[in-house]
């Protein structure tokens, strides 16, 4: 499969090159040249397939012959080493739990798949040169990338995170692994971290001496595997014979955009709801038709504090840059922190279920949509509540027990290098 740049000013590349480069040379995001729907037969019999078999059917056209079947199946098996349960919360509302992986957020799927693709391409390369994955995180990406890439040959990972602005669990997940994973604790905000990473990607001295790449959802190997769990949810809810509506708590809009790709493959999804916190760029766009990026504002659902969602351009591409068509498939609503806290309380009161702040935003968006529409609603529970203890415990007056994968890192010692300026980052990368 070849990929083109959405800026249309760079040559088309193979899956392998799209994965290794991350972003096209014209700074555009890569998009697959074609999308071929899966057979009716596949959907009719999906309940007889294992998750691994489904994932292989879903991803194979996007990889093409660049990873042989046997290796691709191995990559998928290693990626999907945990469950994706759909849990009913109330009538017609279910939670799709995406937090059963090693770092307890949905980003594990994309990060594990991408890391293993890198591992494969590196093993195959005759002139294996070391790749440095450079990534800024507001919390969850760092942990998922650290865990996904741990021990992958030929890859060094450098993670920048804003000092004091990630939760204790998140900090431990990205600072305690050692080996090929290095954490830089930045005296600043997430926006500062991201700006440093962007500067690095444009710094000729660095790009001439290092193979730098990114690991956020602009990378097709992190973005596309996120299609899988929409199929897994369908498999579990198919017997309800109702129209499916997904509400996705959205920040950079990679996750929801993967759901839309699943729909393009023929998955019968009736409608998408993009639920956001007060970083409401997309809800505003759908209302006004004007896309206005803004500096991000800090909220209790901090993994969605994004003021210029990078994958939105892919969403527009999927629907042919046609706003009417887009609106037929997508609604988008924004919610405040107070509304989010109230929703967490309401969910617990109604069903005993404990949602994290991101899942609660998803629940709110779904409720709002279902108020006027009848369907089977699913919100994506994108992280385990333990990752946002400092929000969840006081709001719900509840003690959250640490699952084993959290206990394991929380006892380890943090190792991070403190930096304040771009030059300190550059020196670190060059040494």
Query: What's the closest the beta carbon of residue 259 comes to ligand PLP, in angstroms?
Result: 10
For ligand PLP, the closer CB: 157 or 360 = 360
Only one residue has tokens 């709002």, namely: 368
For ligand PLP, the closer CB: 262 or 429 = 262
From 157-165, 252-260, 370-378, 391-399, give the range in contact with ligand PLP by CB under 6 A. Answer: 252-260
d(CA 424, CA 216): 22
Question: Out of 16, 21, 358, 367, which residue is the one contacting ligand PLP (CB under 6 A)?
Answer: 358
For ligand PLP, the closer CB: 220 or 304 = 304
Query: What's the closest the beta carbon of residue 130 comes to ligand PLP, in angstroms?
Result: 27
Told to check if 148 binds ligand PLP by CB under 6 A, we report no
Contact 233, 263 (CB under 8 A): no
Only one residue has tokens 């590196």, namely: 122
| CA 189 from centre of chain | 20
d(CA 118, CA 131): 9
Told to check if 250 binds ligand PLP by CB under 6 A, we report yes
Told to check if 95 binds ligand PLP by CB under 6 A, we report no
Interface of this chain with ligand PLP, residues 226 to 245, rule: CB under 6 A: none
Question: Out of 5, 147, 236, 252, which residue is the one contacting ligand PLP (CB under 6 A)?
Answer: 252
Helix axes 422-430, 190-202, angle to 10 degrees: 50
Query: What's the closest the beta carbon of residue 109 comes to ligand PLP, in angstroms?
Result: 11
Contact 183, 409 (CB under 8 A): no
d(CA 146, CA 216): 12
Question: Out of 136, 304, 347, 395, which residue is the one contacting ligand PLP (CB under 6 A)?
Answer: 304
Question: Out of 119, 143, 251, 385, which residue is the one contacting ligand PLP (CB under 6 A)?
Answer: 251
Which SS3 state, helix, strand or coil, does residue 248 take?
A: strand
Query: What's the closest the beta carbon of residue 168 comes to ligand PLP, in angstroms?
Result: 16
Told to check if 110 binds ligand PLP by CB under 6 A, we report no
Other CB atoms within a 10 A radius of the CB of residue 16 amount to 18
Told to check if 162 binds ligand PLP by CB under 6 A, we report no
CA-nearest of 153, 155, 124 to 22 is 155
Distances (CA, A) of 166 to 173, 297, 418: 11, 15, 15
Residues binding ligand PLP (CB under 6 A): 105, 107, 140, 217, 249-255, 303-304, 358, 382-383
């Amino acid at each position: 499969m070849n990929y083109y740049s959405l800026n249309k000013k760079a040559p088309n590349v193979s899956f392998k090159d799209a994965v290794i480069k991350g972003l096209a040379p014209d700074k555009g995001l890569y998009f697959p040249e074609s999308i071929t729907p899966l057979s009716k037969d596949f959907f009719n019999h999906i309940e007889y397939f294992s998750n691994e078999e489904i994932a292989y059917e879903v991803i194979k056209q996007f990889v093409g012959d660049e990873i042989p079947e046997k290796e691709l199946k191995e990559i998928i098996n290693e990626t999907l080493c945990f469950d994706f349960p759909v849990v009913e919360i109330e009538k017609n509302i279910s939670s799709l739990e995406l937090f059963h992986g090693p770092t307890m957020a949905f980003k594990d799927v994309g990060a594990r798949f991408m890391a293993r693709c890198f591992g494969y391409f590196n093993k195959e390369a005759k002139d294996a040169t070391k790749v440095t994955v450079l990534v800024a995180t507001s919390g969850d990406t760092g942990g998922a990338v650290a865990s996904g890439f741990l021990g992958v040959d030929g890859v060094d990972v450098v993670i920048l995170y804003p000092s004091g602005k990630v939760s204790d669990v998140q900090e431990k997940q990205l600072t305690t692994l050692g080996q090929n994973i290095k954490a830089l604790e930045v005296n600043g905000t997430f926006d500062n971290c991201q700006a440093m990473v962007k500067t690095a990607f444009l710094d000729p001295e660095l790009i001439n001496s290092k193979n730098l790449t990114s690991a956020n959802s602009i990378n097709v190997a992190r973005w596309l595997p996120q299609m899988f769990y929409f199929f897994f949810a369908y498999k579990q809810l198919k017997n309800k014979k109702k129209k499916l509506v997904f509400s996705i708590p959205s920040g950079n809009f990679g996750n929801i955009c993967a759901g839309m790709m699943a729909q393009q493959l023929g998955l019968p999804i009736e409608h998408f709801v993009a639920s956001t916190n007060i970083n409401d760029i997309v809800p505003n766009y759908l209302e006004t038709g004007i896309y206005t990026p803004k500096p991000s504002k800090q909220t209790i659902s901090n993994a969605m504090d994004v003021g210029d969602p990078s994958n939105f351009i892919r969403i527009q591409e999927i629907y042919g840059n046609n706003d009417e068509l887009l609106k037929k498939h997508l609604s988008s609503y924004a919610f405040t922190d107070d509304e989010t806290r109230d929703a967490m309380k309401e969910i617990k009161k109604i069903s005993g279920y404990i949602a994290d702040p991101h899942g609660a935003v998803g629940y709110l968006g779904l409720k709002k949509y279902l108020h006027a529409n009848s369907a089977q609603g699913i919100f994506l529970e994108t992280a385990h509540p333990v990752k946002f203890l400092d929000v969840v415990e006081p709001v719900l007056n509840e003690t959250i027990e640490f699952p084993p994968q959290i206990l394991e890192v929380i006892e380890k010692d943090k190792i991070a290098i403190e930096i304040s300026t771009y030059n300190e980052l550059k020196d670190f990368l060059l040494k």
